[in-house]
Homo-oligomer: A and B are copies of this chain.
Amino acid sequence: MIGVLIDDRVKAGKEAINELYNSGHYGRQKGDYLELTLIEAAYLHYKKKLEIQIGDKSLSFEEFFIEASKRQQYFDLKYIVYKDLRERGFYVQPSVTDFRVYPRGGYPGKTPAKFFVHVISERIPLFLRELRMSLEAAHNLHKTMVLAIVDEESDITFYEIRKVDPVGDMETIEHALKNIRVRSTFLEDRVIVWDSNLSKILHTGGFYGQPLDSDRLQLSLVESCYLLKKGVLEVTDMSGISSPLSFNEFAAKAAVIESEFMLKYKVYENLRDRGLIPKTGFKFGSHFRVYQDFKSVDKLPHSAYLVHSIPEDYEFTLPLMSRAVRLANSVRKRMIYAVHDNVQCAYIDIGRIKM
């Protein structure tokens, strides 16, 4: 079988339609010839099913591979992923998202494609905006969005990207503290509740804060800000002479201590309002670990998610994303990125997928 390299396509004659398309779903039929992408052609060359010519000259695999690399950006990356998928039995067709991949047992004409696969090098930053646009497109067409990340040693890791909508069944604490304002002091970078009884209600009833000792409770900045907004907490500063802080005053003070404070806070508030319990995710390198079903502080459930709040113009650094997802999975949690646009909060679940 002979194919001719023209621009960034390889054209093979009529007999290729039967031999390559009908039997292996390579290429696309265009009238009386078969059109192959550079990647398909390289793979068929490697499989010794296709000889590739420029004019009359036949190209070795090396010559074609270099030629293709000149004609298509990231040719080598995409070839590696294509070869991997093909060799593990998937049928693959080109698409605006690099590849449309058919489910196991499926192929063009029989079943719709299941996956939109995007190929990316670990070195290239991934813009959240692009990720969300691709996710939206895949979602609208009922496809699963998959990122195939190729590392510097050409190993591939597949990630499934999903929109999720986490909810929990935690009730609000306000009802337990009707008409009571809990007095507290803003110390260097945390807030202390001094009353023993109210400390207990906040901690055991709402899983707020961490006891300083048997009588006093330490609240984090996001917890304090949330309780202040809900009218439960009254926070004064160390001077003890100013009037209690307003929400805006508190937020401004907190932003000096932690520049990302509002980014975190908006997601904290959204999670709490959804009946979930976010607690610090410091040990996991994320903003929050999140509990879905809370019974009591003595019988804490497993926290199901790690949530990290990111701005709308975020750029993923792939080694860091990889580390975050891997760590989350190693402790049996889902890694979720939260994006708050000041109106609503979107949650994007990124998890490894075996293909």
Chain A residues with CB under 8 Å of chain B are 46, 61-62, 65-66, 69-70, 73-77, 80, 83, 121-123, 149, 151-155, 157, 185, 187-190, 192, 194, 209-210, 212-213, 216, 218, 220-222, 238, 240, 257-258, 279-286, 318-320, 322-324, 326-327, 330-331
Contact = CB atoms under 8 A, between A and B. Distances in A.
A149 B209 CA distance: 17
Nearest to A152: B220
A102 to B, nearest CB: 23
Contacts of A121: 189
A322 B326 CA distance: 14
A323 B284 contact: yes
Given A209-B153, A213-B46, A319 B282 contact: yes
B157 A283 contact: yes
Contact of A283 (B74, B83, B213, B326): B326
A66 B121 CA distance: 52
Closest 4 pairs (CB-CB, A-B): A285-B323, A151-B282, A152-B220, A330-B330
Given A65-B192, A70-B238, A153-B279, A322 B285 contact: yes
A221 B152 contact: yes
Copies of this polypeptide in the complex: 2
Nearest to A219: B153
B283 A151 contact: yes
A74 B282 contact: no
A86 to B, nearest CB: 12
30 contacts: A61-B216, A62-B185, A65-B192, A66-B185, A66-B187, A69-B187, A75-B187, A76-B188, A76-B218, A77-B188, A80-B212, A123-B189, A151-B280, A151-B283, A152-B222, A153-B210, A153-B218, A153-B280, A153-B282, A154-B190, A154-B210, A154-B212, A155-B283, A157-B282, A284-B323, A285-B320, A285-B324, A323-B324, A323-B327, A330-B331
A270 B347 CA distance: 42
A132 B341 CA distance: 41
B155 A280 contact: yes
Contacts of A66: 185, 187, 238, 240
B74 A188 contact: yes
B327 A258 contact: no
A110 to B, nearest CB: 29
Contacts of A151: 280, 282-283
A319 B280 CA distance: 11
A135 B119 CA distance: 43
A15 B214 CA distance: 29
Nearest to A185: B66
Nearest to A220: B152
Contact of A282 (B76, B83, B152): B152
